[in-house]
Amino acid sequence: MTALIPPSLDLASLRAAYRNGLKPSALIAALLERAGDDPQQAWIARMPVERLRAMAQALDAREPDSLPLYGVPFAIKDNIDVEGLPTTAACPDFAHVPERSAEVVERLIAAGALPLGKTNLDQFATGLNGTRSPYGACRNAFDPAYVSGGSSSGSAVAVALGQASFSLGTDTAGSGRVPAAFNNLVGLKPTRGLVSTRGVVPACRSLDTVSIFALTAEDAEQIYAVALGGDGDLGYARAVEPHGFDFGRAPSFRFGVPRAGQLAFFGDADYARLFDETVARLEALGGIRQEIDLQPMLEAARLLYEGPWVAERYHAIREWIEQRPEALLPVIRQIVGGAAPLRSVDAFDAFYRLAELKRIADAVWATVDVVLTPTAGFIPTIEATLADPVRINSDLGHYTNFMNLLDYAAVAVPAGFRADGLPFGVTLFAPAHQDVPLLHLAARCQRALGAPLGATGQALPEPPQTLASAVPSGQVRVAVCGAHLAGLPLNHQLLERGARLVEATHSAPAYRFYALAGGPPFRPGMIRVAEGGAAIEVEVWELPARHFGSFVAGIPAPLGIGKLELADGRWVPGFICEPCGVDGATDITAFGGWRAYMARRG
């Protein structure tokens, strides 16, 4: 059975091993043998061996395809409850044993995932570096002299080292992205409110998100699909909404990059070079680059530690900071204690300013689909961080602190390595509910880079053949063949409804093409035929489903929308013509498309 255990714990490799006969109990036995002494100080508590074995053995009796996360081992940040294990939030005096797991943990276990234990973090999730823990500074998976990133430090390191397939963290100001970047992982910071925070020790309850660390973007999407939902009894939950146009899978998309003067690398020339290489890689994938003004977002970021959200951190641990301050690390007391002199009027000043900044920042989405930034501008050593903890931590949040304040979704993606072998990562972000397109684009970026998985040295697996989307798009595709083509007189009817061009292609070679007689001038019609057909030039556009009805209602007879077969065998809604419509029409099939016919016609 040992021979069946895959060298990589990514979901594709693990699923293949299970289909070939591996049992979850055998995998768990192997992982327990590998566990070792934890020199990176990634773990705080392990799941009791007998309990973990019992969970694995219960899965042994089931078919591998019976559960979406069958036998997948995962780790949990120790500010997220797991039934029967202490939750410490990296404060030993705070430790308590919950009677119930956090809702997101329950969802994952119900889907077949196996919880391995609780991971280290910056105390009370306050920090981006991973050194603020009485359980020891968590060390980078590539070089123990460097920080792991935080606050979800152990969650990232455990996955990077191949000790778990994925892990849960939390992300309020970058805690689910910075550790991903520093350990060569994908880190998803979902849209606020979509993944349950019941059973999570709050940092800023209004901003907190449960994040996902994974070896690949495809893995992150599969885990996200299971984790979604819940929290119906909590005030910050929100319903999943369709994500709209999937720029992540489009052959062409628009991406923003900060103006050169707004990029900060804090003296790290390798990170600056690697960011430029990532921009070029996105362009090679079909991205159209546009410089944007990041300043409103950077201003919003400064509010995080200057206004009511510090008071919200204070509120989360008020009992401890007021009655037992000695239980907190000095740096945590210093940061959170800064909220004490804030007044209510200061909070409203910050709320009003944030609303202004969000209006200005959101204007960027009229011109780009996604924004690309470094995840962090540099990576410090543990020694340097301990010597200057507040300034260095602040600098690590340069590109991350504004994200939840402005209600954006984000994915951290591996983007190469410095000359000394330390990883560099970038972040892709977009408006709320764009999580799935972000993950799709992240997958393309990761595969274009082709770097190994985490710190394991294992190659990327082949991409999944089929992967159901975690969230519906809410979009409808329609093939057009005449005046609705890009740049032609009726194309505005699509643009006014928010439509985007997906691809220019051809129909299957099964249609005759006509210039129709009568009615509005210059109307083409496509008729499907059993023989003698040809491939006709078409464009596939995508528009929100809520606008599809009004678009169809404006189409004059004898034209209509039916199913049209494309050259690659796909069927999409598209313009077709009733057979009676060809009476008196001119057969223009030989031109192969409306543009060619119009050009010849003069």
> What pLDDT sits at residue 3?
64
Contacts of 356 (CB under 8 A, 6+ apart): none
Does 132 have pLDDT greater than 90? yes
In this structure, the answer to whether residues 400 and 547 fall within a common structural domain is: no
Mean pLDDT on 288-311: 92
310, pLDDT greater than 90:
no
CA atoms of 422 and 183, how far apart (whole Å)? 8
Q: For the residues 586-594, what does the mean pLDDT come to?
A: 95
565 in a domain, yes or no? yes
Do residues 327 and 276 both lie within one domain?
A: yes
Q: What is the pLDDT of residues 186-211, one digit of tens each?
A: 999 999 999 999 999 999 999 999 99
Q: Which two tokens stand for residue 27?
A: 């995998």
With the C-alpha atoms ordered 410, 413, 419, 422, is the resulting torsion angle positive or negative?
positive
**Same domain for 589 and 503:** yes
Which pLDDT value is given to residue 233?
A: 58
Examine the domain organization and report whether 518 and 423 are in the same domain: no
Q: Which helix (H) or strand (E) holds 601?
A: helix 594-601
CA atoms within a 13 Å half-sphere pointing along the CA-CB vector of 197: 26
Give the domain range for residue 535.
475-601
DSSP letter assigned to residue 378: -
Q: Alpha carbon of 394 to those of 224, 266, 388, 426: distances in Å?
A: 29, 12, 10, 18
**Angle in degrees, 0-180, between the axes of helices 308-316 and 330-337, rounded to the nearest 10:** 130
Q: Which of 13, 153, 175, 211 is catalytic?
A: 175
State whether 82 and 198 are in the same domain: yes
Average confidence (pLDDT) over 378-398: 97
- Residue 217 pLDDT level (bands cut at 50, 70, 90): very high
pLDDT band per the 50, 70, 90 thresholds, residue 318: confident
Tell me whether the omega of the peptide bond preceding residue 431 falls within 30 degrees of 0, making it cis.
no
The more confidently predicted of residues 409 and 466 is 409
The answer to whether 175 is a known catalytic residue is yes
Catalytic residue among 23, 77, 118, 189: 77
Q: What is the DSSP track for 274-307? A: HHHHHHHHHHHTTEEEEEE--HHHHHHHHHTTTS
Please tell me whether residues 159 and 30 are part of one structural domain.
yes
List the beta bridge partners of residue 171. Answer: 209
Chain centroid, CA 405 distance in Å? 17
409 plus 492 within the same structural domain? no
Residue 66 confidence (pLDDT) above 90: yes
| Residue among 8, 151, 165, 211 flagged as catalytic | 151
352 alpha-carbon distance from chain centroid:
29
Of 414, 449, 484, which residue constitutes the final position of a domain?
449
Q: Which of 449, 466, 483 corresponds to the end of one domain?
A: 449
- Judge whether 246 lies within some domain: no
What is the distance between the alpha carbons of residues 266 and 102, in angstroms, rounded to a whole number?
A: 38
Q: Are 585 and 516 in contact (CB under 8 A)?
A: yes
What's residue 232's pLDDT? 60
Give the tens place of pLDDT for each residue, 517-540: 876 666 899 999 999 999 999 999
Question: In the prediction, which pLDDT does 1 show?
Answer: 54
Residues 6+ apart with CB under 8 A from 363: none
pLDDT greater than 80 at residue 388: yes
Give the rounded distance of the alpha carbon of 250 from its chain centre.
16
In angstroms, the CA 459 to CA 540 distance is 35
In a domain, 461, yes or no: no
Mean pLDDT over each residue of the chain, to the nearest integer = 94
Give the Å distances, CA to CA, from 5 to 104, 392, 444.
27, 41, 27
What sections of 338-381 are H helices per DSSP?
344-362
Per-residue pLDDT tens digits for 429-485: 999 999 999 999 999 999 999 999 999 999 999 988 777 788 889 999 999 999 999
pLDDT, one tens digit per residue, over 167-181 is: 999 999 999 999 999
Q: Are residues 337 and 234 in the same domain?
A: yes
Residue 261 CB burial class (10 angstroms; 0-12, 13-18, ≥19): exposed
In terms of domains, do 442 and 576 share one? no
Cα distance between residue 9 and residue 335, in whole Å: 38
Residue range 572-594: mean pLDDT, rounded: 94
Q: Report the candidate in 227, 197, 193 with the shortest Cα–Cα distance to residue 212.
A: 227
* pLDDT for res 256: 98
| Consecutive H or E run containing 34 | helix 24-34
Tokens representing residue 57 in the block: 């053995």
Residue 491 covered by a domain: yes
Phi, psi of 190, rounded to the nearest 5 degrees: -65, 165
Could you give the C-alpha distances from 458 to 14, 26, 339, 439, in angstroms and in order?
A: 13, 21, 46, 21
| CATH number of residue 123's parent domain | 3.90.1300.10
- pLDDT at 337 exceeding the cut of 90: no
Band of pLDDT at residue 4, cut at 50, 70 and 90: confident
Residue 459 lies in a domain: no
Q: Is the peptide bond before 344 cis (omega within 30 degrees of 0)?
A: no
DSSP 484: T
At residue 227, what are phi and psi to the nearest 5 degrees?
-70, -25
Question: Percent of the chain scored above 70 by pLDDT?
Answer: 98
Check if the beta carbon of residue 426 is closer than 8 Å to that of residue 441. Answer: no
502: nearest Cα among 289, 250, 152: 250
State pLDDT tens for residues 550-564: 999 999 999 999 999
In terms of Cα–Cα distance, which of 154, 135, 187 is closest to 409? 187
Is 118 labeled as catalytic in the residue annotation?
no
Q: What's the rounded Cα separation, in Å, for the pair 424 and 484?
A: 44
Note whether 62 and 196 are same-domain residues.
yes
| Active-site residue, 252 included | no
pLDDT of 325 strictly over 80: yes
Judge whether 589 lies within some domain. Answer: yes
Q: What is the pLDDT of residues 232-284, one digit of tens each?
A: 657 789 999 999 999 999 999 999 999 999 999 999 999 999 999 999 999 99
Q: How many CB atoms lie within 10 A of CB 99?
A: 8
CA distance 141 to 386: 19
Q: What is the pLDDT of residue 173?
A: 95
Nearest to 111 by CA among 44, 158, 64, 178: 64
Same domain for 440 and 577, yes or no, is: no
Q: CA 472, 476, 480: angle at the middle one, nearest 5? A: 155
Q: How many domains does the chain have?
A: 2
Q: Are 236 and 205 in contact (CB under 8 A)?
A: yes
Closest CA to 110 of 181, 176, 161, 62: 62
Classify residue 99: in a domain, yes or no: yes
Selection from 332, 326, 310 nearest residue 89 by Cα? 332
Quick one: pLDDT band at residue 602, thresholds 50, 70, 90? low
Token pair listed for 277:
């290489």
In a domain, 455, yes or no: no
Contact 112, 67 (CB under 8 A): yes
> What does DSSP say about strands 370-374 and 253-258: parallel, antiparallel, or unpaired?
parallel
In this structure, the answer to whether residues 76 and 144 fall within a common structural domain is yes
pLDDT grade, residue 231 (50/70/90)? low
Q: Domain containing 545 — which CATH number? A: 3.10.490.10
**Max alpha carbon distance in the chain (Å)?**
91
